[in-house]
Structure 1
Amino acid sequence: MKTLSNPRMAGLDSEGSPIEGFGETVLTPDEQQALLEARTVIRGEPAQRRESYDYLLTKGIADCDGCAYDLAGGRVHAEAAPGYRCLPPTEHRPSCGAIRMDADRLETAVAEQVLADMLRPGRHEELLRLQRDAGEEAERLARHIDGAEARFAALKAVRDQMLPDAFKAAEKATKNDVAAARTRLRFLQQIISVPLSDPHDVVAWWNAAPRASQRALILLSVTKVHVLASGSGRGHDPHKRIRIDWRNS
């Protein structure tokens, strides 16, 4: 069982990234993870608690350059460092499962490019404009949320004139609308809080900024981060494994 716990049995290197051209493997990465967990139980060892990790580039920010499926955060096994991967394909998931990259390498490379992008001529002014647009949208959403009580009252006033199912559907839609508006407002508030007055100050701010604020700056600057396969020597330089679509409007 110890031999099977070697990452190469699943075609992975020591960082949990697929080895290009490795060929047929004994196990899939998921099967090896299940094996490691079973080994812990058999040996009577307490399950090692995984340290929680707040992934910076999940929720649609980063995808697999090969199949365009969004990357997920996870670990190859309990002792492994956090990483990103393209999930294995299933009947309902058109992913390829071929991309894997250490979280520290990917997130650092993206952050460096985002911060460097702010220093390009004209880019700072463009980001300030996007931030002002976010502020205006936040004001509109705040007014929309404040008016929710009046909309609920108006809906209840005509309840007797509606079919029960129609009223329930309208009430649910109104609640969902308010919930979505609040989620969007929280995101916009994170963007507004980024100190863009001097782009050089943002570098110092980044190192101590909350994760949500860092993510907001990335989303202000980027529409998508594409992660490439590690072949052709690209694995040595994380910057050569990413391709960024920059936000212009």
Structure 2
Amino acid sequence: MKTLSHPRMAGLDNDGNPIEGFGETVLTPDEQRALLEARAAIRGERVQRRESYDYLLTKGIADCDECGHDLTGGRVHAEAGPNYRCQGCGKIRMDADRLEPVVAEEVLADLLRPGQHEKLLRLQQDAREEAERLAIYIKDADSRFAKLKAFRQQMVPDAYKAAEKATKDDLAASRARLRFLEQITGVPLSDPREVVGWWNTAPRAFQRGLVMLSVAKVHVLAAGGGAVDPRSRIRIDWRTSVS
């Protein structure tokens, strides 16, 4: 039971936050939490629950300017607030309450610049059209698998396994791409002035969608000495297409 209690059995780091790209796990996070509670009950203790945090700039939106690795969300210790960190070189770390507001300000300010609203509308329409094509492609996945299975007896086993894996990987990538596009298409862009007010009460997924629509990448720079303006620690690549 002790081995199963280790957070990585559920794809979590030592602070209990999901490790992006971890792959298959032995337990789900809920199963791991239930196991910890069971162990604590045996010892007459209680597991302290900590509110999860929905990071705005993970999932490939922000990266480390030092090594190029995408930033992940985490906490320095159990009592610390959420922060972003690089798990590549480990040189970049920035609190979420310093990084996210300045990125949001830049995104909303960019929306109000001349010509930007029209550009985002075009990008959103491109995303909508691609999403429609992808939805049809994904719906047709069963027929592609059926066609592949029809040739199974005529193929070398290794070749069939490779083709099957490639088909599954393609389907997974298509579904991930569709989720990305759906977040972009869900952002209301009819009036850029209304979007600024909308941001404050918008669901996190839609806030992330606007960032994804506007931004190709947020590069986070290393901190200098003394009190550093968080604006000086970001460099934004603005999106020119949804590809």
Shorter chain as normaliser: what TM range?
Answer: 0.7 to 0.9
The aligned counterpart of 1:30 is none
The aligned counterpart of 2:221 is 228
Give the alignment partner of residue 106 of structure 2, picking from 113, 130, 148.
113
**Aligned counterparts of 2:213 and 2:159: Cα–Cα separation in 1:** 39
Query: RMSD over aligned Cα, in angstroms?
Result: 2.1
The aligned counterpart of 2:163 is 170
Q: Is residue 226–residue 242 contact of structure 1 (8 Å, CA) maintained in 2?
A: yes
**Aligned counterparts of 1:177 and 1:64: Cα–Cα separation in 2:** 28
Alignment of 1:86-235 (within 5 A): 86-87=86-87, 93=88, 95=89, 97-231=90-224, 233=226, 235=228
Q: Is residue 152–residue 174 contact of structure 1 (8 Å, CA) maintained in 2?
A: yes
Q: Is residue 114–residue 221 contact of structure 1 (8 Å, CA) maintained in 2?
A: yes
C-alpha displacement at 1:45, in angstroms?
Answer: 7.9
**Aligned counterparts of 1:238 and 1:45: Cα–Cα separation in 2:** 41
Greater CA radius of gyration, 1 or 2?
A: 1
How many percent identity over aligned positions?
73
The aligned counterpart of 1:35 is none
Q: Which residues of structure 2 form unaligned runs of 5+? A: 1-43
Q: Which residues of structure 1 form unaligned runs of 5+? A: 1-43, 88-92
The 3-state SS of whatever aligns with 1:224 is strand
The aligned counterpart of 1:65 is 65
Please list the CA deviations of residues 135-178 of structure 1 after superposition, one character each: whole Å capped at 9, or x if unmatched.
11111111211221221221122222112232222222212212
Q: Is residue 63–residue 70 contact of structure 2 (8 Å, CA) maintained in 1?
A: yes
**What TM-score do you get using the length of structure 1 for normalisation?**
0.73
Q: Which moved more, 1:141-150 or 1:202-211?
A: 202-211
C-alpha displacement at 1:225, in angstroms?
Answer: 1.0
**Aligned counterparts of 2:237 and 2:227: Cα–Cα separation in 1:** 19
Residue 79 of structure 1 aligns to which amino acid in structure 2? Answer: E
